[in-house]
Each structure stands twice: as C-alpha cells, then as structure tokens.
A = this chain, B = another copy of it.
Amino acid sequence: MRPTVSTSSRASALRRFVPLLDWSRSYTRETLSNDLIAAVIVTIMLIPQSLAYALLAGLPPEAGIYASIVPIILYAVFGTSRALAVGPVAVVSLMTAAAIGQVADAGTMGYAVAALTLAFLSGAVLLAMGVLRLGFLANFLSHPVIAGFITASGILIAASQLKHILGIPAQGHSLIAMIGSLIDNLGQTSTMTLILGVGATAFLFWVRKGLKPLLRRAGVGARAADIATKAGPVAAVAVTTALTWGLGLDAQGVAVVGSVPQSLPPLTLPSFDPALLRQLLVPALLISVIGFVESISVAQTLAARRRQRIDPDQELIGLGAANLGAAFTGGFPVTGGFSRSVVNFDAGAETPAAGAFTAAGLAIAAVALTPLVYYLPKATLAATIIVAVLSLVDFTILRKTWDYSRADFFAVAATILLTLGLGVEAGVSAGVILSIGLHLYKTSRPHVAEVGLVPGTQHFRNVNRYTVETAEHVLTLRVDESLYFVNARFLEDLIQDRTGGDTPLRHVILMCSAVNEIDFSALESLESINRRLTDLGIGLHLSEVKGPVMDRLRKSHLLQDLNGRIYQSQFDAWMDLTRRIKEPAA
C-alpha cells in the first residue's frame, strides 16, 4: 500500500477512466473543422436511421432520436475509440423488440418503460464487466457464430419490416411466426403503401448499387459521389414524405410516423420492479455481449487503420455509460454501429468531439425538424432498414467453415437455424454452447502421434507422415493436447493399449511439447500410468516439459514416484535411452 498518491499518478488514473481528458489537450482548430464536417454528414444519415430503428424496436420514433443524443455524449467522455458512433443499431433493436415483447405489449406505456429498464440493465452489466475487467467474456463468441448470428438477424429484421411495406399487422420473433402472421393478414394489404414501400426499396437498392458508378461516369468526384450515395435514405424520406403530404396518401391507408413531440430528450426513469428486472436480466446480458462484440470489432478495425489502440475494458465502461444515459433520457439499448462509424471515420472524424457535435445536430433536429416527419410513411423507414440489413446477410461463412472445419460449420449452421427458427436469444446461446461443447469434445480425444527422429537433425516427427528413425525398445508418444480432466482417462487407455501384450518395449517417452497444462485429474492419471508401467517393467519418461508445467509438477509427488527421468529435450531422451538399451547388449 502506498501511503500517498502523487498528483500526476492520480491525474493519469483519471485520464485512464476519462479518455476525454487525454485527447482534449491536443485539440486544434483543424481537428475541430474535421470533426464538424464528419458530424454534419453523420447527423444527416442518422435522422432516418434513428427513426427506423425505433420502429424496429417497436417504440415511438422519437425514442430513436433520444437514444442518439445523450448516449453519444457519454461515450465521447468515457470511450476509447476516436471514430465509433454510438446509437440504436439494427441487431440490438431487434433483440430489444424480442426481449420486451415478452413482458409488455408494443405501444403501451409498459413497453416503453421496459425498453428503458432493458437499457438500464445493459448499462449496468456493461459497466460491471468493465470494472471487473471481464471483457474477455466476449471471446466466448467465435467469429463464425457471430457471422452466422448477424446473417440470421439480418434476415429476421428484413422479414419483420415486410408488414410495414405491405401495410398490414403482423408479429412474431421467429422467421416462421413472422411469415405465418404475414400470410394470415395478406388480404388487408394496402395498395398505396405497397407501391410506396416497393418504390422506396427499389430506389435505395439502386442508390446503393447503381448511383455511384453513374455519377462517376458523369464526371462527379469520388468523395461527392460517395456522399450522394449516403444521402440516398434522406432523399427517399424527403420524396415519399412530400408525396404523402401532397397527395394525401395518409387518408388512403398509408401509415405515417405522425406527430412527434418537439422536445429535447426528456428525463425518464427505468422500472426497478424486481420481477421485471429478473425477467430482463438474461436478455440484457445477451444484448450487452452482442452489442459489445459488434462495437469492439468496429472500433478495433478503425483504430488499426490509424495505429491507435482500443482498451476493451474501458470500452465496456464507455458503452455502459451510454446505455445508462439512454435509460434516463427516453431511449433504449444502444451500441457502436458499424455503418455509421465507418461513415464517421471516412468523413474525417478525428476525436470523440465529432460524436458530441452529432449529438448537438440531433438535438436541433429533435426540437426543430420533428414536425416535418409527420407525413413520413413507415414504409419508407422499413425500406431503409431492409436495404441496410440485407447487406449484413452473408451465407459464405457456411461454405468457408464447411471447407475449413466441420466443428465451426456445425456451430454456425446451428446458430443460423436456431436464430431463424426460435429467435435471437436461442440462436446466440446455442452458438456459444455448441462452440464450447465441440471444443471440449475435440480435446477429449486428442491427436496422438508416435514420433521418430528425422535423420540428420535433432527433430522428431510423426512416424506415419515422415521417414524417421525409431527403435523397438523405445516408444515416443507426442500427445497433442493439454492433459486435463476431459482427456485424463483417454491417456490411461491409450498407454494401456500401446503397452499391452508381448512387447519388446522397455521405455515409453511422453513428449510434452504440446502439453500446456497438467491438471490434478491428469496428474492422478499419470501416477496411475506410472504404477502400471512399473508393474510391467517399462520405464516412463517425460521430455520437453514446459516451464510452467514443470513448476507445478515440482509441487506434486510425481517427480519422486516416476520410475524414469525427465529430459529437457526429446533428442536428449532418445540418445540416452537408445544408448542404455544398446550398452547391456554390447
């Protein structure tokens, strides 16, 4: 315990937890101008996105805008990424709808409060994980499982928006339930809504694929063409809103966003009802982990391009603060979004101040622009969601994992099927459990190679793959796995198989170059193997035991009880034991 803490170390600790203090000291006029430009571009992109993701989560449109203001500012203070744009994102909004749909009906007051409570719980979980330095838990989601989950979520999200394109009611949190519900209500389809919705979708697809090449051919610069492409959703919103207003389409069955309060984010309170908190805890945990994984991947990808570092545990704190902010200002769970962060980065954002400026832009929009979205058709928002999420859908992960590793393939296939069939929570849980289970299964039956000396070297290799020297009195087995409880019995059986019957065998060497741990169960197995081989008059030797494993073995009785020796290298063991065999014969 240090009795005093110097001012400078206290300041540096503070800077660690509040990165704002760090980057703000070198803030220049040029940085300000870059950050402002990026903020304008992201704000324009974010207005329709925020409304759309609120719709996806089953919440009133203003919740999307509120969720993009205070959370962004809090992340700017506590987060470590310089380009991450925090707010509502597609997958987390879908998970929010699935979670709170189980505890309240969409459109009720209870539903909005449940969304605040879910954000509060997610924030608390993220903050706790950050303080306890549990960021590594995100590693339990393998890349293929994440890829499969995102693909399946993209399909689910697109399917959930079809009701807005058709102008009919529908519900369900699995693909089958959604499609069934759509088919049941297909008769009520609103023709005008369908025309608007399909038109907006087609336009947005064309903007995404066809506009940029067209503009480039027309001589427009790359950057301007890029911005025009990004402004596609805004154009679709403006045109369809104007059409609906001008032609009075809302009277012809086209659902519109309607009146949105002109207000800064209100001060709200989540519910602290223990029963509700208990019901939402597991969903909040899954949302936190999925949100964190999505956010940290983007943050690390962008940071690597500028040789910056991301601190995962501090990111948990930044995202936790953002979610707590959402809970107390009328929002719902948020995280760092992929597309908006890339836009922010490409637009030149240099510090989290760009995020704060975006928040200011959205605050102005919340106060001044909300009357303009009265006639905005929900079908247009649905179209922007569909076009955005279909770019997440990528089934190539199935082929890639099939080619490379069947275990990974099964994990990703199960994740996709269960997400589509049973919903997001079942899908991601199954993916994690299956990945871990398959890994344990593989390590329970490890690869074991009998090895021999590669002639002219001191290197030992598998007798079945290489031409190597062996001796009938000395058997060297290289077990390609840590020895631990899951495979302790396997090792005993293996040695028994290899030493049974009439054999000239005098020495067994376990080459431990791939043994990274020997736990207590495996230690007991080794002691039992040693006893059995002693009875058979066969020596048991270990070679190439790693430092940390050896440190631990020194605390056990094995080293005293072992009937053979421990050799530093397999070559030493080989030379010594083959010589010992030859000498009595000579």
Contact = CB atoms under 8 A, between A and B. Distances in A.
Interface of A: 136, 139-145, 304, 307, 400-401, 403-405, 407-408, 435-436, 439-447, 449, 454, 457-459, 461-462, 465, 480-482, 484-490, 496, 500, 513-517, 519-521, 523-524, 532, 546-548, 552, 555-556, 568-569, 571
Contacts of A485: 139-143, 145, 435, 439
Q: Of residues A139, A449, A488, A571, which shows the largest number of chain B Cβ atoms within 10 Å of its Cβ? A: A139
B555 A403 contact: yes
A65 B96 CA distance: 57
Given A136-B445, A142-B484, 16 more contacts: A139-B487, A140-B440, A141-B485, A142-B519, A143-B524, A408-B520, A435-B485, A436-B440, A439-B519, A442-B517, A449-B546, A457-B458, A459-B571, A462-B546, A480-B546, A513-B513
A493 B401 CA distance: 24
Q: Of residues A400, A404, A443, A462, which shows the largest number of chain B Cβ atoms within 10 Å of its Cβ? A: A404
B404 A516 contact: no
Q: Of residues A500, A517, A555, which shows the largest number of chain B Cβ atoms within 10 Å of its Cβ? A: A517
Nearest to A490: B139
19 contacts: A136-B445, A139-B487, A143-B521, A144-B520, A144-B521, A304-B496, A307-B500, A404-B555, A407-B519, A408-B521, A436-B436, A436-B440, A442-B517, A447-B516, A454-B568, A459-B571, A480-B548, A481-B482, A514-B514
Given A404-B552, A552-B405, A516 B481 contact: yes
A458 to B, nearest CB: 4
Contacts of A496: 304
B457 A571 contact: yes
Contacts of A145: 485
Contacts of A489: 139
A143 B447 contact: no
B449 A405 contact: no
A405 B519 contact: yes
B520 A142 contact: yes
Nearest to A550: B465
Contact of A520 (B143, B444, B547): B143
Nearest to A136: B444
Contacts of A520: 142-144, 400-401, 404-405, 408
B546 A447 contact: yes
Contacts of A513: 513-514
Contacts of A140: 440, 485-486
A488 B404 contact: no
Contacts of A439: 484-486, 519
A101 B521 CA distance: 33
Q: Which 8 A-B pairs have the closest CB atoms?
A: A142-B485, A458-B458, A143-B521, A459-B569, A408-B520, A480-B516, A513-B513, A142-B521
A439 B440 CA distance: 10
A142 to B, nearest CB: 3
Contacts of A516: 443, 446-447, 480-481, 514
Q: Of residues A403, A446, A488, A516, which shows the largest number of chain B Cβ atoms within 10 Å of its Cβ? A: A516
A240 B55 CA distance: 79
A524 B523 CA distance: 35
Nearest to A439: B484
A517 B555 CA distance: 29
Contacts of A407: 519
Q: Of residues A435, A444, A489, A519, which shows the largest number of chain B Cβ atoms within 10 Å of its Cβ? A: A519
A520 B515 CA distance: 22
A461 B403 CA distance: 35
A547 B465 contact: yes
Nearest to A546: B480
Contacts of A480: 516, 546, 548
Contacts of A408: 519-521
A563 to B, nearest CB: 17
Contacts of A401: 520
Contact of A304 (B458, B486, B532, B552): B532
Q: Of residues A143, A485, A488, A524, which shows the largest number of chain B Cβ atoms within 10 Å of its Cβ? A: A485
Contacts of A143: 485, 488, 520-521, 524
B546 A139 contact: no
Nearest to A568: B459
A144 B445 CA distance: 21
Contacts of A461: 568
Contacts of A569: 454, 457, 459
Contact of A444 (B139, B465, B487): B139
Contacts of A524: 143
A453 to B, nearest CB: 11
A188 to B, nearest CB: 39
